[in-house]
Structure 1
């Protein structure tokens, strides 16, 4: 005789919240969901009512609320409480701020455990999560641009050689590793690293620049080259393009970059290449731009620890009507 048990789940959806009234489902290790008393409650609100009752609250995409854990950083909590491994969610830092911590110990594509900041230990604090297609606003100086059926972030003006900045706070937490991903799309005849501007403070790339501190120190660059393959060699291609003739990045970038193009052939002119996302490691045709198997995620270790905020700048040799890079996703973690 087969016994089937059913459990009714009612889900309320808002822009940032998923809350369920389910009281009998389990999630990971047999732990039970603990349901907030009303929709819209945060981990902090639950904590005030349920001290020391950690568990999987079906709130904010059914993430873990680490009620009885506290530390100076996500990494500190991960190291001091082994049971938090693979329990990504919201934890208290210094008994005050609640932050999202990726506690993934091992990357597992089969179960879609992301982000792939794993492999060098869990305990990553998320400082940026932007998804414009999900309705998020463009941060900082970035402004929204609607193209065809999509919405993206773009540079502030139509000027040439422009970078538009958005800064993400670390809340003073010390870190030495940065992990993250970005997704963008090509507009027009992007120039990769072919810009005449070679300063870290200028538009040295067509794409996205990640830096920290003042003066700026480089973390990672997402470059947008002209095309995947040209019949004639083009200096504004990616260095990894099929013709192998793209301009190399400035010395301060080194090998800490991804470069990709959304266009398959050249010459190209004004147009949007929304069929192929940049820096996702896919559809690179005959180029070598998808050879790094960690894409879309990058990992970078700084020379020394810092608590600097991280700055992300969309840069273009412009003008925007002719060339630029459109950004719709950005996710950043520190450890």
Structure 2
């Protein structure tokens, strides 16, 4: 019998592993105090453990044991919103968009729609994830911050990922105006043209991706079906696709935390949005 099969049988019999999202509580021979605290802890003890649902100290979670992110394996999934699935609903106060692509948007404009995802009390210092979205209307990337640096909530048209009540920055997926600017302006992605004269907020630094879903001047309220932040489709002098990890990001935090992770979809004008089709977040 292979080492992988032996370990999987042990995990199933012990009650740590689940055939599906629902664990069989009758199989739980582990005392709560003996259960692992994270997916990484399971993988360190049983290196052949496959991906799947596992019972931790605080809850049942999905563990990605196979994919290497930030140089390691054994990631705990804390968010998975896939709007291509018919039964999937939008998280938080996001609003469903049914056409032309089933997505989640924000009716709060100017302002932010928000969703908070529990990290199950797990202490983590690394976050990785991806977002897939679409440009709606004439979004302005970091233009909102340039125009009003006193508005600490709406600093970008796009998606902000943060943790805790302090909204400590993790990553930004910014949505620029269009991909081939002909003038120096602050409404385009900084990577879209060397003539960008805007400002990226200092607390964001280089921890962001920026992209546009249209090459020319966008129309107000128009939903553009070219997916954002894919890492392909850019033409010089636009170098927004040069990040090798896109659409995935990996972020190591300054100190470990058990904070919830928050996704905000923000815009400073009416008739603009970033419609989200996929949100996937992991911690370690």
Instruction: State the TM bucket, normalised to the shorter chain.
Output: 0.7 to 0.9
Query: How far apart are the structure 1 equivalents of 2:122 and 2:262?
Result: 16
TM superposition shift of 1:303? 0.3
**C-alpha separation in 2, matches of 1:173 and 1:199:** 34
State the match for 1:281 in structure 2.
Answer: 231
Shift of 1:313: 0.4
Q: Where does the alignment leave 5 or more consecutive residues of structure 1 unmatched?
A: 1-27, 35-40, 53-68, 107-116
SS of residue paired to 2:103: strand
TM-score with structure 2 length normalisation? Answer: 0.85
CA shift, 1:272, in A, is 1.7
Q: What does residue 143 of structure 1 align with?
A: 95
Whole-Å Cα distance in 2 between the matches of residues 258 and 303 of structure 1? 20
Structure 1 residue 153: Cα displacement: 0.9
Aligned to 2:172: 221
1:208 to 159, 165, 174: 159
CA distance in 2, matches of 1:259, 1:199: 22
C-alpha distance 47-219 of structure 1, shift in aligned 2 (>3 A): same
Stretches of 4+ aligned residues off by more than 3 angstroms: 28-31, 41-52, 197-201, 267-270
Structure 2: which 5+ residue stretches go unaligned? 10-18
Tell whether 2:188 aligns with 1:237: yes
Distance 1:235 1:105 in 2: 37
Spell out, residue by residue over 1:151-180, the C-alpha distance to the aligned partner (whole angstroms, 9 max, x if none): 2111133x32x0111000011110000000
For the Cα contact (< 8 Å) 1:193–1:236, is it kept in 2? Answer: yes
1:104 equivalent to 2:66? Answer: yes
Match runs of 1:10-25 below 5 Å: none
Question: In the superposition, relative to structure 1, how do residues 252 and 45 fare at CA in structure 2: closer, same or farther (>3 Å)?
Answer: closer
| Mapping for residues 160-175 of structure 1, pairs under 5 Å | 160=110, 162-175=111-124
Q: Which has more radius of gyration?
A: 1
Aligned length in residues: 267
Q: Distance in 2 between matches of 1:81 and 1:181?
A: 27
| Higher RCO by CA contacts (8 Å cutoff, separation 6 or greater) | 2
Once the two structures are superposed, the pairs formed by residues 1-335 of structure 1 within 5 Å of their partners are 42=20, 44-46=22-24, 48=26, 70-84=35-49, 87-94=50-57, 97-104=59-66, 106=68, 117=69, 119-135=70-86, 136-148=88-100, 150-157=101-108, 159-160=109-110, 162-195=111-144, 196-198=147-149, 201-245=152-196, 247-266=198-217, 268-274=219-225, 276-286=226-236, 287-319=238-270, 321=271, 323-335=272-284
TM-score, length of structure 1 as denominator length = 0.73
Aligned partner of residue 76 in structure 1, secondary structure: helix
Q: RMSD in angstroms over aligned alpha carbons?
A: 2.7
Deviations 1:10-43 (A, max 9, x none): xxxxxxxxxxxxxxxxxx9689x99xxxxxx735
